[in-house]
A = this chain, B = another copy of it.
Amino acid sequence: MEGGTGERSQLDRDRIAAAALELIDAGGLASLSMRKLGSALGVEAMSIYHYVSSKDDLLDAVMERLYGEITIEEPVSGQSWDDAVRTAVRSFHEVLRVHPHTVGLFVDRPATLSQEGFAAFFGGYRLLRLAGLAAPEAHGALHAAVSFVLGHSLVRAGAEAGGRSIDLISDELLEDDAVAEFVSSGRELTDDFHFEQGLTLLVAGLRSEYKLA
């Protein structure tokens, strides 16, 4: 055999990013430190700097993995435009549902930096062009869809972190009937309901604003 560097670990940028993502999934963004990542990889923290140039670069590598998990399918023949759009938006959303703590990575980190990020965005753009939108409108719709998915994940993560929130409303306020209705009707709705509702609004907006079939 050629090569033969031992079977155990052998670091590389992508393997390091995978381990970082595991730490983020397990304990949140703040729980990822170069020292902890090193020890998870069975190595001193400083060794990691041979494969990534900084923690920021490491987080870019994690983003590449995330974007790589998004699959934007070409519409199959006979598939309606809105079915193709729904499927693509759900694919993006699903990545953030599986890795909820990664939404913070999108803060201060541009989207189209990597090959994988570009592919995802361009794929979404093509679907909207094929649906019949002109270039600027397709950009606007893509931006709106991405914003909605990221924002939804942000709200979802916030609600997760603070289950307390809505239960802290003062009794005085709750004597107002409208407030009571707001709180009690809201309590029964799930994050998934909100996501599907928002997606429906987005598709309905596209259909009516651009007169799509």
Residues of A within 8 A of B (CB): 28-29, 103-104, 106-113, 118, 122, 125-126, 129, 135-137, 139-141, 143-144, 146-152, 154-155, 157-166, 168-169, 173, 178-179, 181-182, 185-186, 188-189, 193-194, 197-198, 200-209
Contact = CB atoms under 8 A, between A and B. Distances in A.
Given A164-B113, A209-B200, A139 B185 contact: yes
B150 A144 contact: no
B181 A135 contact: yes
A113 to B, nearest CB: 5
A136 B189 contact: yes
13 contacts: A106-B155, A112-B169, A141-B201, A143-B197, A144-B197, A147-B148, A147-B152, A147-B194, A149-B151, A150-B151, A200-B205, A201-B209, A204-B209
A143 B104 contact: no
B158 A198 contact: no
A162 B113 contact: yes
A182 B112 CA distance: 12
Contacts of A205: 200-206, 208
Contacts of A112: 165-166, 168-169
Nearest to A30: B108
Contact of A107 (B104, B179, B185): B104
A154 B154 contact: yes
Nearest to A137: B197
A150 B157 CA distance: 13
Closest 10 CB pairs of A and B: A110-B162, A151-B151, A205-B205, A147-B151, A140-B197, A201-B205, A144-B198, A135-B185, A208-B208, A110-B165
B104 A157 contact: no
Most-contacted residue by chain B among A28, A111, A154, A164 (CB, 10 A): A154
